[in-house]
Structure 1
Amino acid sequence: MTSKTTLNAKNLAALGADRLADLVLELAKGNAGAKRRLRLELASEAGSDDVAREIRKRLGTIARSQSFIDWQGRNAFAADLDMQRRAIVTQVGSLDPAEAFDLIWRFVALANGIYERCDDSTGKVQSVFHEACEDLIDLAEVAAPDPLALADQLLEALADDDYGHYPTLISGLAPILGSEGLQRLKAGIATSEFNLSDNYALRMALEQIADVEGDADAYIAQQSDQARKAPQVAAEIARRLLEAGRIEDAWVAINAPDEKDRGWIPYEWEATRISVMQAMGQTEAARDFMWTCYARSLNPGHLRAWLGGLPDFEDIEAETRAMEHALGFESFTTSLHFLITWPAIEQAAVLITNRAAEIDGHHYELLGPASDALEDRHPLAATLLKRGLIDFALQNSRVKRYRHAARHLRECKNLAVRIDDFAQFETHEAYLDGLKQTHGQKTSFWGAGA
């Protein structure tokens, strides 16, 4: 039986309305966010007009504010924004979609000013605005604003959009805009006083319109000659031409980047080039390119595609070849990541014991999970990764990592009893003695339970 002191709706309701009201007021003292939530709930009882009035007042206050929101106030501010967003959608939208659409539009318009005065390094505030953009599209479907008026509204907003929120709305709003609204928007951009080469939002809007209309040439027209030689842009252009059935044009586009000056080649460019080659009937050439791409980067997507085109039974021998290539890959870290995620745990253990000197303890986000994955069947390999994490933390005096390093040392002790042969590596006792000799003065590490 649930205790009467358990915090749940039933037990709280038993306190009675008056007692609960007193408690809520007491808890809301000094909490501006809680007070705003209570006012919204009270306004909701009076009707959507009162809720809208409260929200509009709050949005106006936010728009006028110039104070900087640091990391300490960011979470509370993001929560306040999200509360306003949800109230627009649920409390106003359910009764007055047109009013809710106007409010969510005003809400999204706050983004520019807020980003300029907010430390949003975690992306919490940005995520609220991304959700608001989705809400705007949903509310537009219900409110059904006039297409031409919506186009004019978008045009005005795009001119001052420094963060690219409004162009991304175009594809979602396309059914409401219709052909007439899209043409109005496109014409407005073309005749605007802005230099499109300097205005990212307007240029992106034209790209969005081109995609909605399925006009590959219009999309290409927004890209400069220099941009078309960038692998990422070349892939975007080639993909659109391929979808339009213009295979030869797609081949020219995908090969626009200079072979000698491609630098870092994104997976999207490689994958699109493979798709174009296959569309041209160059099956074997496409397969050869898959292997070349895998061999250069150890990208599992390319390897799966390459193995997938092989007859039955041949894929086992081919995968063995691929794993051998990974074991000798130049970057130990890249190889380990590939083998752990493929997964090829046996080969990962071989890699670690063969190339232990290359373990880079800086990559805790890889070495930690990898050591956990190896513990059951390969305790020595798991130990070597944990030692890499410990050594990096101590050698570089990463004090914030000492607590984790101490935990890894305890884990190494537990694993040691399962290792029959340390081979050329130090036993746990010898490794521990070495740590004490070299880092014995680092009391914060030893005090963390190492």
Structure 2
Amino acid sequence: MPPKTTLNAENLQSLGTPRLAELLMEISRGDAVAQRRLRMELAGAASPGELSKEIGKRLASIARSRSFIDWRGVRAMADDLETQRQAITGKVAASDPARALDLLWRFMALATSIFERSDDSSGTIIGIFREACGNIGEVALRAKADPITLADRVYEALTVNDYSQYDGLIAVTAQALGPRGLEHLKRRMVELSQRPVARPADKDRVKIGWSSSGPVYQDEMAERSRLSTVRMALSDIADAQGDVDAYMGQYDEKTRKVPKIAAEIGRRFLAAGRAEEALAIIDAAEHRKSAGWDWPDFDWEEARIDALEALGRTDEAQQVRWGCFERSLSSTHLRAFLNKLPDFDDFEAEEHALIHAEGFRSPMDALWFLVTWPALDRAAQLVIRHSERLDGDNYELLTRAGEALSSKHPLAATLVLRAMIDFCLSNSRSSRYKHAARHLLECSSLAKDVGDFGSFEPHDAYEARLKREHGRKASFWSLM
């Protein structure tokens, strides 16, 4: 049982209500955040209506503020916003969802002014607004919001989505919007698509930047924003309505041939039970291949595999899986390939795959695959054959490889550690000296297990060479 002096809720209760109240007043003195929280608790205890008023006053106060929020103030603002969000979606929504929905819209309206005067490089504040955006759908359902009114609010929000705070709004409100609301929103977006941004006279155009093709004007950016808003909204509406043809219609013929877009469209046709059309769309994609570069586009490849499987063309799907593995050493695709094979055939196929991995064009990629598969005997042989081609800067891979190989393959583990040490010292990476020193000590420990270094330097000779070549790096040797 904890002592009576341990700081916990049970022990604090023993102080009694009057003393706790005095302490709260004392602790919150001069702390605006704490005082606001206490006022909200008092308002919530009085009635949900009083809590709504308190939240409304705070939102109005934030909206009026014009002071810059530097990186030090971002955390305090984030905490304040999160307190308001939780109060709205908690106590207020439970008792008066219509009031909560209105407060959520007011809350979201703060985003633009806050981002215009803050440094949210950490993404802390935008995360809270996106959480609140996600709450709108649930609260709208509880409030039984009028679909047309809700559609109008969604439309207005999407047209001022300058900081992506409303991304995903259609998806979260789709159920509350229902068929009527979605159709109304669709009509408004179609009307917006037919209402281009007016271009001013040349002398009145505002230049806001430059691109490779020349100056960029304010009206051009506004027009691009309008087109992007319409396209994304109509795509989301099509998804919500299950209209895959309408979704595809948001992309022109050329754009549909971009592999990522083709994959997204194809997956929707697959989900709609239209596998033949899905495969045709996926296969129509055009791939750009650079000389000597044939890395798979995994989104597209996976969509094609799914389409082939849906059509019962399993052999062709297997060929795609193997092709992905051959070009990238993707263990995910190899495992999927092996799992589809009959019993015992998978052993021979795995052996073939490991031989292919050993001869892969990139020894570092091959090492990663063999270590993580795992096939440590082959990984050790790869290290010994290609020790000169190990990238000592890739310390994440080599550290894992060294740890995996150390128990049964001490020579290979030593060569991996040496690659990192050599890179660190040759490039004077002083921030890594402590790691390089540890690696050198590990090499010393492994040396007794190596026995025969073969054509490689024994540990003593290696360390002596390091001292000759890097003896003046005192900050490194002081760590030994």
TM-score, structure 1 length as denominator? 0.88
Aligned Cα root-mean-square deviation (Å): 2.9
Q: What residue is the counterpart of 2:186 in the other structure?
A: 186
1:247 — aligned with what? 275
1:95 is matched with which residue? 95
Structure 2 CA distance, aligned partners of 1:71 and 1:413?
46
Query: 2:259 touches 2:287 (CA, 8 Å); kept in 1?
Result: no
Q: Which amino acid letter does the alignment assign opposite residue 247 of structure 2? A: Y
The answer for unaligned runs of 5 or more in structure 1 is none
1:174 matched to 2:174: yes
1:321 pairs, out of 328, 333, 352, with 352
- Counterpart contact for 1:74–1:120, Cα < 8 Å: yes
Measure the CA separation in 1 of the matches of 2:395 and 2:106.
Answer: 43
Match of residue 248 from structure 2: 220
1:357 aligns with 2:388: yes
1:201 matched to 2:232? The reply is no
Q: Per-residue deviation at 1:189?
A: 0.5
1:143 Cα deviation after fit: 1.9
Query: Are the equivalent residues in 1 in contact too, given 2:424–2:430 (CA < 8 A)?
Result: yes
CA distance in structure 1 between the partners assigned to 2:448 and 2:309 by the alignment:
54
Deviation (angstroms), 1:92: 2.2
Partner of 2:137, secondary structure, is helix
Equivalent in the alignment of 1:57: 57
What whole-Å deviation, never above 9, does each CA across 1:232-264 have from its counterpart, x for those lacking one? 001111122223333343233112332454876
1:305 equivalent in structure 2 = 336
Task: Report the Cα distance in structure 2 between the residues aligned to 1:412 and 1:253, rounded to whole angstroms.
Answer: 55
Contact 2:145–2:176 (Cα < 8 Å) also in 1: yes
**1: CA distance, partners of 2:104 / 2:441:** 53
CA contact (8 A) 1:167 1:208 kept: no
Shift of 1:167: 4.8
Moved more, 310-319 or 346-355: 346-355
Which residue of 284, 290, 295 maps to 1:256?
A: 284
Displacement of 1:119: 3.5
The structural deviation recorded for 1:156 is: 0.6
Residues 277/399 of structure 1: CA separation in 2 closer, same or farther (3 Å cut): same
8 Å contact from structure 1 (residues 333, 359) kept in 2: yes
- Once the two structures are overlaid, the 10-residue window that deviates more, 400-409 or 84-93, is 400-409
Deviation at 1:416, TM superposition (A): 4.1
Alignment-derived partner of residue 402 in structure 1 = 433
Report the alpha carbon displacement of residue 22 of structure 1 after superposing the two structures with TM: 4.4
Letter in structure 1 aligned against 2:10: K
Deviations 1:7-31 (A, max 9, x none): 2222333344444444444544554
- Is contact 1:168-1:205 (8 Å) kept? no
Aligned-partner residue type, residue 120 of structure 1: D
Map 1:71-90 onto structure 2 (within 5 A). Answer: 71-90=71-90
Shift of 1:158: 0.7
- Whole-Å Cα distance in 2 between the matches of residues 84 and 60 of structure 1? 12
Residue 332 (str. 1) matches residue 363 (str. 2): yes
Which of 419, 430, 439 is residue 470 of structure 2 equivalent to?
439
**Aligned residue identity for 1:9:** A
Cα distance change of structure 1 residues 420 and 169 upon mapping to structure 2, 3 Å threshold:
farther
| Residue 39 of structure 2: aligned partner | 39
Q: For the Cα contact (< 8 Å) 1:337–1:366, is it kept in 2?
A: yes
In structure 1, how many angstroms separate the alpha carbons of the residues matched to 2:101 and 2:442?
A: 56
The one-letter code matched in structure 1 to 2:315 is E
Q: In 2, distance between residues paired with 1:74 and 1:397? A: 37
Cα shift readout 1:156-202 (whole Å, capped 9, x = no counterpart): 11111124443512223222111001000000100123578643233
Q: Note if contact 1:231-1:265 (Cα within 8 Å) is conserved in structure 2.
A: no
- Contact 1:241/1:247, CA 8 A, preserved across alignment: yes
- Alpha-carbon distance between aligned partners in 2 of 1:110 and 1:186, rounded to the nearest angstrom: 26
| CA–CA separation in structure 2 for the residues paired with 1:433 and 1:24 | 66
Q: Is the 8 A contact 2:137 2:174 kept in 1?
A: no
Q: C-alpha separation between the residues in 1 aligned to 2:297 and 2:399?
A: 27
CA–CA distance in structure 1, aligned partners of residues 73 and 450 of structure 2: 50
Q: Distance in 1 between matches of 2:313 and 2:300?
A: 17
Distance 2:31 2:353 in 1: 59
CA separation of 1:233/1:349 partners in 2, compared to 1, >3 Å: closer, same or farther? Answer: same
Q: Corresponding residue for 2:125?
A: 125
Q: If the length of structure 2 is used for normalisation, what is the TM-score? A: 0.83
Q: Helix, strand or coil for the counterpart of 2:307?
A: helix
Q: What is the letter of the counterpart of residue 215 of structure 1?
A: D
| C-alpha distance after superposition, 1:279-329 (max 9, x if no partner) | 444332332222112111122232122212211011011111112222222
The worse-fitting range, judged by mean Cα deviation, of 351-360 and 234-243 is 351-360
- Secondary structure of the residue aligned to 1:140 is helix
What amino acid is the match of 1:319? Answer: E
* Deviation, structure 1 residue 130: 2.8
Gaps of 5+ in 2: 198-222
AA partner of residue 4 (structure 2): K
CA contact 1:158–1:202 (8 Å) conserved in 2: no
CA distance in 1, matches of 2:163, 2:97: 26
Are the equivalent residues in 2 in contact too, given 1:101–1:143 (CA < 8 A)? yes
User: Which secondary structure state, in structure 2, belongs to the residue aligned with residue 191 of structure 1?
Assistant: helix
Please give the alpha-carbon distance, in whole angstroms, between the structure 1 residues aligned to 2:441 and 2:74. Answer: 37
Residues 65, 327 of structure 1: CA spacing in aligned structure 2 closer, same or farther, 3 A cutoff?
A: farther
Please, which of 385, 403, 406 is the counterpart of residue 372 of structure 1? 403
